[in-house]
Amino acid sequence: MHVLHVAARPDTLPCREGEYAQIMRAVDELLEEGSGGCVFVSGVPGTGKTATVHAVVRELKRMAEEDEGNPFTYVEINGLRIPEPSAAYGLLWEAVSGHNVAKDGHLKISAKEALKQLTKYFGSSERAGPGGHACVVLMDELDQLLTTKQDVVYNFFNWPTLVGSKLVVIAVANTMDLPDRVMTGRVRSRLGMTRINFGSYSREQLYEIVRSRLEAAKAGMPKNAQVAIEPDAITFVAMRISNITGDARRVLDILRRTVETVYPLKRTAKMADVRLVAQEMQNSPTAGYLRELSFHERVMLAAIMLCVRKEGVEEVPWGKVKRQHHILNNLFSESPRIVMPTPSELLMVLDSLSASRAVLCEEGVESAR
Ligand SMILES: Nc1ncnc2c1ncn2[C@@H]1O[C@H](COP(=O)(O)OP(=O)(O)OP(=O)(O)O)[C@@H](O)[C@H]1O
Ligand SMILES: [Mg+2]
């Protein structure tokens, strides 16, 4: 159960050796040269983007500690975990100015002020990070940082390209064409960014990911220890998920839940067990409800969930939901282009969600606040 958990950090990531090497080479070269640059990683959810970048950074940190590579400051900015896109400026400023967050807490500085400092910093000739170090920043869930003006993402793509910059941006997004939508042709050609796309996993790859995690759990166990899951059962889930999304997270979730249900019975999980769990997850009333929703109802529910995750509370203001709906709508509707609903149409979508009690709405001055 432990090794199948999505939060577990396996020592190696099978099937991503190529992508790992590509990212490693690109970032390592920049650090070696002491120059700035941008590595753009794209791919659908659950294809190992975050896990791979984390593994690269861990290795680079280890190399720096053992004097095999150049030292660097590292900061992670996750679009899902900051209240609004401009909050990214404060985090980057802390990193490049050498502020010790662990010791002194976050800087009390507005996004506007941070942007001013960063502009000044990257505009001058004195741009190296603390002690002349480079600064590596992981911009995860970049799609979340798109704004109408697209200024945040623009700046993060642009600063690494300025002469003398030692800023290395590893940008991770779900959509492959995000840089093209943010940068104009002229700027884009100057960027020279390395682009790496993570394809969705095949059945064989999903099987291998599970197998290698279970193999790792075997280390230190007696030889005759009971097998957790039958290989057939793993193949079954791998095939099913590779046909839909190729999301490793779902494979791990289904199998972990299966082991959880079978564990008290002290036997090996079989195909039938996995099938039951997968069916339960798919045929739950919630899943059924979601399947029946319209496009915009789904988008709005997703928008509300993202807001809840970002804010960390289950009550979110309508204004933020609308903004998030806008971002997601743009993300999902490349072709054919789906028009953004008007404010009153959005209210109708909300009404229909609240009619089914999927969400509860509060009106009035109190809630507006
Ligand atoms: N090749 C792999 N080997 C082992 N585990 C993997 C592999 N790829 C993905 N995983 C696991 O699957 C889960 C999802 O991976 P990860 O978070 O890296 O996906 P992601 O591409 O960043 O998705 P998202 O776009 O939703 O952020 C994690 O628990 C990760 O450890
Ligand atoms: Mg991720």
3-state secondary structure 43-98: ECCCCCHHHHHHHHHHHHHHHHHCCCCCCEEEEEEECCCCCCCCHHHHHHHHHHCC
Coil/strand/helix, residue 23:
helix
Q: How far apart are alpha carbons 41 and 171 in whole angstroms?
A: 6
The answer for 367, left when phi > 0, alpha when psi is -120 to 50, beta otherwise, is alpha
The Å distance, Cα 238 to ligand 2 centre, comes to 20
The better pLDDT of the pair 50, 224 is held by 50
pLDDT, one tens digit per residue, over 169-207 is 999 999 888 888 887 776 676 677 899 999 999 999 999
- Ligand 1 binding site (Cβ under 6 Å of any ligand atom): 6, 10, 13-16, 43, 45-51, 174, 209, 248-249, 252
CA 217 to chain centre: 26
Residue 31: partners with Cβ closer than 8 Å, 6 or more residues away: 60, 69, 70, 72, 134, 136, 168
Q: Looking at residue 131, what is its pLDDT?
A: 53
The pLDDT of residue 73: 94
- CA of 259 from ligand 2 middle (Å) equals 25
Give the chain's count of helices (H) and strands (E): 17, 5
Ligand 1 atom 3: residue of nearest CA:
13
Sign of the four-CA dihedral 333, 338, 342, 343: negative
Q: What residue spans define the domains of the chain?
A: 17-198, 203-283, 293-357
Would you state the pLDDT for residue 59?
Answer: 97
- Across the range 31-45, mean pLDDT stands at 94
Atom of ligand 1 nearest to the CA of 9: 31
The CB density around residue 185, as the number of other CB atoms within 10 Å, is 8
Q: How far apart are alpha carbons 173 and 176 in whole angstroms?
A: 7
Q: What's the gap in Å between 47 CA and the centre of ligand 1? A: 5
What percentage of the chain has pLDDT greater than the value 70?
A: 93
Which ligand places an atom closest to the C-alpha of 51? 1
Report the alpha-carbon distance of residue 181 to residue 146 in Å, rounded: 10
Calculate how far, in angstroms, residue 205's C-alpha sits from the geometric centre of ligand 1. Answer: 12
Asked whether the beta carbons of 274 and 255 are under 8 A apart, the reply is yes
Closest C-alpha to ligand 1, atom 29: 6
**Dist CA 272 CA 236 (whole Å):** 10
Q: What fold is seen in the domain 203-283?
A: Helicase, Ruva Protein; domain 3 (1.10.8)
The mean predicted confidence, pLDDT, of the chain is 90
Looking at all shown ligands, the one closest to residue 306's CA atom is 1
Ligand 1 atom nearest the C-alpha of 141 is 27
Q: What is the pLDDT of residue 368?
A: 57
Tens-place pLDDT, residues 269-315: 999 999 999 998 888 888 889 989 998 999 999 999 999 988 888 88
Query: What is the 98 CA–ligand 2 centroid distance (Å)?
Result: 26
CATH topology of domain 17-198: Rossmann fold (3.40.50)
Spatial contact of 4 and 210, defined as CB atoms under 8 Å apart:
yes
Average pLDDT for residues 120-143, to the nearest whole number?
79
Distance of CA 99 to the CA centre of its chain: 25
pLDDT digits (tens, 9 = 90+) for 339-350: 788 999 999 999
CA–centroid distance, residue 2 to ligand 2 (Å): 20
Same fold across 17-198 and 203-283: no
Q: Which of 2, 3, 6 to mutate to test ligand 1, by most ligand atoms within 8 A of the CB atom?
A: 6
Cα(83)–Cα(20) distance, rounded to whole angstroms? 30
